[in-house]
Amino acid sequence: MKLAIVAFLVVILGFQTAFAELDVSTDNQVYSPGKPMFVYGKGLPNEDIILRIFAPDETIVTFTQITTDKNGDFTLDLFTWPEASVSFPYGTYRVEAISTAQNGLSERIDVKFAESTNLESIPITRTVSTLVFAPETAAINQPVRIFVQTTSDGLLVGGHPDKLLGTSHVHLPDGQVVNLSESFKTLHQGLYYAEYTPVAEGTHVFHVVTFTQGTISHGSAATLVLKQDLGGISQQIIELNSVLDQTSNELDNLKSEIEGFGSSLNTASDDIDKSVDSITISVGNIEAASIQLNSLLFPIVASIAVIVALQIVILARRR
């Protein structure tokens, strides 16, 4: 009995799967401002179909529900395209139909919102862009924070960072590669950040890979890792400037003391010159006095010599 029930359920499920049907189409692939979009397709008879339009940043532009007819067909004037704006730019939009009776079966189709529909050929592609912001310099063993911006056709595109940025990594100076897939956190839709602590000097290249709706985009930024960051170098420069200021003040004091010593030397030199002049005058006076003394002593000595000579003559005669 149980085997029969199981077999019956398998047959029923196989029957439903075999006859599951959902299709969606649009009346055009390229739309310009003011143009209506007609959506048509096929599902199960009298089935409720959910129709949605997604912008390039994955936000929902419009949301509605329609019921198929007895043949499973549906058609709807789904949306009229507005003028382009910051919140509604030109780009690739996605139309999605979701079945409510076929276990969430869905179908998607991409359309282009452009300035004009008179173009010969406009490829229905998504333009995904990845911007990476990282500091130019960092220090060993100090955490570095990098920021990533992801956009699709100019709008911020969101998603879980593990899936959106799952293959991002950093290239180390020695050639090794470190995975950053689990490091990113969401700052805002389309804005993410990650922290990484470098342990070696050299250039670190952060390579961020964005993958969304089958489209991939790459972005890179490089950081030069030093022994210490610019903050430490700046502090050392400030300390060096302080030491230089103190040295400059001491040199100024020494200069003023040297200038005072120089004036003292000049005064001493002038005094020595005056003393030399005084000594020269004194020597001259001594020479003059010596000449005068010699002139006075010469007659006396001559008289003594005459007296001695007379005494000798007198003694000689007596003998």
Give the per-residue pLDDT at 303: 75
pLDDT reading at 185 higher than 80: yes
Give the per-residue pLDDT at 10: 45
| Of the candidates 15, 25, 13, 16, the residue with the CA atom closest to the CA atom of residue 73 | 25
Give the per-residue pLDDT at 15: 42
Q: What number is the average pLDDT over the span 204-228?
A: 87
Of 284 and 167, the structure prediction assigns the larger pLDDT to 167
Q: Which of 99-108, 201-210, 280-289 bottoms out in mean pLDDT, i.e. has the lowest? A: 280-289
Q: Which of 5-19, 81-95, 244-258 bottoms out in mean pLDDT, i.e. has the lowest? A: 5-19
Q: Work out the mean pLDDT of the chain and round it to a whole number.
A: 81
Give the per-residue pLDDT at 20: 65
Which domains are assigned to the chain?
22-113 (2.60.40.1930), 128-228 (2.60.40.10)
pLDDT tens for each residue of 148-157: 999 887 788 8
Give the per-residue pLDDT at 11: 44
What are φ and ψ of residue 235, in 5° steps? -65, -40
Q: What number is the average pLDDT over the span 88-115?
A: 89
123 near 38, Cβ under 8 Å? Answer: no
pLDDT reading at 241 higher than 80: no
Give the per-residue pLDDT at 16: 44
pLDDT reading at 277 higher than 90: no
Give the per-residue pLDDT at 170: 93
What's the pTM value of the predicted model, to 2 decimals? Answer: 0.51
**In the chain, what percentage of residues exceed pLDDT 70?**
80
